[in-house]
A and B are shown apart, each in its own frame.
Chain A
Amino acid sequence: MKRLGFLMLVLIIMLTGCSEPSLPTSTIQTAIGTEKTISFAPPSSKATLVSPHVDARKTIESALSVMEDETLTKSFWYTGYIRNTIHKRKTTSMFSGTYLRPTRTAMDARMAAIPYRFYRDGEAFRYIWTPETDWLTVKSLPVPVHPFSSFTALLPFFNDAEQWDDEVLGLSARAYRTYVQADAFLSAWETYRTAHETKPLGDAFNPNDEANVLKLLSTSDILLTLWLQDDATLHQPRIVQLEAVLLLPIPAAGYSMQEVFFRFFQFNDPSIRLKPPSDIERYLKDDDETMGH
């Protein structure tokens, strides 16, 4: 028993001679000659494939009409992120908040991990809070906001989709998933850009740069998944989740995995109440001339 202390010290010496544990090693076959180079995991660990080819446009459209209808979808919670992984570097932006129809929303957000809050009630009342500034009036040009009709831009891709049985927040859901060709996605993106993005985002392209980027991005891979869940009271499906995975070629850095994910929940929850703009305006730290909203 008296030797126990010494034994402990011997053990330490033994520990310093260890090697790093390795999983079983093996041989990997070559990928030369195989067609598909990219593989995606199922929508979730619980998902089971129901059908590899369905035309999901009608179903999604009807779900969209429920979401767009301001009497059927009066309010909801949303949460989501955009995450980029390039080699070991990961950059994440996060957005979560409540939406009260017709036009009021408050959001807690982070852009590349930099925190802020955003409040919007139509184009007239837009405020931002940052830890350094408190509430200020937003100065950027307003863009129209249509939380769900914006999904119609994705609809054409679901003419030939996989259908999966899956779960969202513990309830059964249907996942529709489609692999989109880079060319098709890029042309839909161009429509979006010309319709929605002028300044401050769209002015940096000159034709030559744009051609170079389009050539580069033509080797991207895109995977879109929409999750639909039946509303218990309406007996109609709602859109409850969106995921887009974009594999993008990145100069001198392999490919980037970009994940865009949003989830919608607690529809028409009576606890969703949002302060009117006048409540925020009391806290505004703007100069006097910008207080005029």
Chain B
Amino acid sequence: MLKPFKHFLQAFSVYIVLSFYVYFTYHWLIIPLALEGGIWGVLTIVLGIAAFLWIALKNKRLPYAVFSFLLLFLDKALQGTYFFEGVSRILGIVLLSAVVWLLGRSLIRLPKAALSAVILVALFFYLLWPREDVRLWAEFRVADVTSPLYVGKRSDYFPLYLERNATTGLDRIIVYGNREEQLGQDIHANELFNENMTEMPFKTKPMDLEANKKTYFLGPEIIRPYALSWDHGRLKREPLSPQEEMTWERQLMHDYPGFPYFEIKDGRYQPLIERDALAERVLNFGQTPYLALTLDALHLADDLKASSGNLDEKPSLLGGAFTSLRLLPDHLEGYYHQKPFKLATKATQIIGAMRVEDEDVLVLLGQTLDLVTIEKNGQPFVTHRLSSQELPDLYTADYLIAPLPGEGDVLFLSFPTESKETAKILKPLPGGTWRVLFNAKDPLFRFEDVRIQNGQTTILALPTSRLSNYPQRYLAEYTYENGKLVYRWKVFYSLINVRYAKLWAENHGPLPWMRMNDEAIVGMRYGDHRLYVLVPHHLPVYPLLIGSNALIVLSLLIIRWREHLPQRMIKTKKGGALH
């Protein structure tokens, strides 16, 4: 091997390692510190970088600073190429790399090996993963990511349900999609590298290609419940029977995407009114409340028809204590330990059932939140009630029921983004009162799921960052200790509809050779309908990262100390400009 080439390769390998170090320190340490620490985090970063520069040798400061800057600049700038398609995108990538090369060479003559490493590492991450996925890796292995399951533009998101198979004990994920029907493509369509992984909002989607169209009618769109189960290391779509499809379609209806302008009926997502008809009617401004009510009523009529007039039904709650529950517009009927009961109520939703003071209790939501017990004589009785006087917007809140250590069953409430109320944990007390166990300070905080595993209760939630008021939710897990929600981890990545899912059997990891007990966390990416399956990797990422930073600080200190020694005490050593 030629000597200069060997020398180049050696230097190049060192710069590759250095590039990875800078890349991960930035995404796993600096970004979280800024987002979580707020102004103090930013201050820490500034002080930290200042300290680094102070410790480093004078003549090395600028080259390393420029090296790091160019890497992070290229990492960020490459994202801009998603605005372009095909050849223009390749040209964009080449152009950006050339700019980085020229800047590095002309400004301070960085070695070619260093610049090659910068460009190679930036391209490596750009081509293989969406930029922000790297933030997930601090805690998770991304076991699977699907292609966008829904390829229309009518809805930002659909709900996600889990269905547990009684015999295998495994969950399958039910989401809504039309990729296979519309594009004829598999849910893991072969995408060139991470093509379309970061979708730009105005990007033409395949649906629009039917454009050239001469009609402005929105018309129906196919939409199907997709059942996805884990199969040999990835999600696989399972066929659903017509009966199952109908059941799930009804579930989807209860999430009301596009209400009241769109409805889901017979596998179609269709408009109840076209845009021109709506605009013209709106011009009768004084009648707009009636116009809106007309659309609501048309939608609700179809909803009621699809559910045979029932507002809500639950076949069985609390392990069969409550059975055959049916909620109608003016009453609830069902069985409690096989004895029938009936309650006059204006509730519209059966949230679930819980245990309060050793009693079985039904939780109903209407304009008020009601807890109902069945007395010994078989008569239902409302023991607890909250109205919007006590808790504004409670009728649009989302509810979860789960036990907390030391508290028993409690209610987790999450409010819509615009609501002034913040997420809460409520515990019903004897005498009809409620104790607020937790009252989120963060206005966007949402509870997503609760799990009890090996005696430990963990809570999945979506908190925001402390840096800005930008309404971005991230993903975190908490435990409840001494009246506090304590972080287990937090990743600065946005997912919605996040759930704990048991996709594989115990002692079977996501892949056959993985023997581990970790369950999956599944969630959708907002706006582009991709399903993520995450598995905790338990690697000590932060200790490793902090340790390596400490090592670097230590070696910098040693180098500096050696510099201060009289020159004759150190053996001279060969090295490139950056060594």
Contacts and interface: CB of A to CB of B under 8 A. Distances in A.
Interface of A: 1-2, 4-6, 8-9, 11-13, 15-32, 34, 36-39, 41, 78, 80, 82, 84-91, 93, 95, 99, 105, 107, 109, 111-114, 116, 118, 120, 126, 128, 130, 132-133, 136, 138-140, 142-143, 145-154, 185, 188-189, 192-193, 196-197, 200-202, 204-205, 209-210, 212-213, 215-219, 221-222, 224, 242, 244, 246-258, 260, 262, 264, 285-287
A111 B483 CA distance: 44
A34 B138 CA distance: 51
Given A2-B557, A13-B546, A247 B395 contact: yes
Contact of A136 (B216, B273, B386, B546): B216
B511 interface: no
B258 A112 contact: yes
16 contacts: A13-B546, A19-B486, A23-B422, A25-B436, A28-B391, A29-B433, A31-B387, A39-B387, A89-B259, A109-B282, A114-B154, A126-B280, A136-B215, A143-B284, A216-B311, A221-B367
A244 B257 CA distance: 22
Contacts of B146: none
A219 B367 contact: yes
Q: Which of A25, A247, A252, A264 has the most CB of B within 10 A?
A: A252
Contacts of A133: 211, 213-216
A27 B311 contact: no
B442 interface: yes
B51 interface: yes
A74 to B, nearest CB: 16
A256 B293 CA distance: 12
Interface string B377-410: 0000010111111111101111000000000000
B301 A210 contact: yes
A273 to B, nearest CB: 19
Interface string B269-295: 000111111111111111111101111
Given A30-B434, A88-B446, A251-B300, 20 more contacts: A16-B542, A20-B478, A20-B485, A22-B484, A23-B440, A28-B436, A30-B385, A30-B432, A38-B387, A84-B256, A85-B416, A87-B397, A109-B279, A116-B275, A120-B279, A133-B216, A136-B216, A216-B300, A219-B367, A246-B293
Contact of B348 (A95, A113, A213, A249): A249
B110 to A, nearest CB: 24
Given A87-B396, A150-B284, A17 B442 contact: no
A249 B211 contact: no
Given A5-B52, A6-B550, A262 B288 contact: yes
B288 A204 contact: no
Contacts, number: 398
A13 B289 contact: no
Contact of B275 (A17, A128, A154, A215): A128
B280 A8 contact: no
Interface in B25-40: 29, 33, 36-37
B286 A145 contact: no
A202 to B, nearest CB: 7
B279 A107 contact: yes
Interface string B74-88: 000000000000000
B292 A11 contact: no
Given A90-B418, A212-B309, A257-B396, A118 B280 contact: yes
B439 A17 contact: no
Contacts of A139: 217, 276
A231 B376 CA distance: 67
B457 interface: no
Contact of B214 (A116, A253, A258, A285): A285
A49 B220 CA distance: 48
B143 interface: no
A145 B281 CA distance: 7
A81 B366 CA distance: 25
Contacts of B422: 23
Most chain-A CB neighbours within 10 Å: which of B41, B51, B55? B51
B367 A88 contact: no
A213 B367 contact: no
A38 B197 CA distance: 45
* B contact face: mostly helix, strand, loop, or mixed: mixed
Closest A-B pairs by Cβ, 8 of them: A151-B286, A30-B432, A150-B286, A255-B395, A244-B289, A118-B279, A150-B284, A31-B387
Contact of A255 (B255, B294, B390, B396): B396
A2 B50 CA distance: 11
Which secondary structure dominates where chain A touches chain B? mixed
Interface residues of B, number: 132
A153 B290 contact: yes
A142 B277 CA distance: 8
A262 B284 CA distance: 11
A233 B242 CA distance: 67
Given A13-B542, A18-B487, A5 B285 contact: no
B154 A112 contact: yes
Interface in B87-135: none
Given A19-B484, A252-B349, A254-B396, A120 B283 contact: yes
A38 B367 contact: yes
Contacts of A118: 275-276, 279-280
Interface in B294-316: 294-298, 300-305, 307, 309-312
Contacts of A88: 398, 414, 416-417, 446
Given A133-B211, A189-B294, A216-B304, A150 B216 contact: no
B69 to A, nearest CB: 19
B562 interface: no
A30 to B, nearest CB: 4
A127 to B, nearest CB: 9
B63 interface: no
B260 interface: yes
Given A25-B437, A31-B389, A31-B390, A200 B542 contact: no
A126 B262 CA distance: 23
Nearest to A285: B214
Interface in B350-377: 350, 365-368
A198 to B, nearest CB: 12
A293 to B, nearest CB: 14
Interface string B214-225: 111110000000
Contacts of B309: 212
B525 interface: no
Nearest to B348: A249
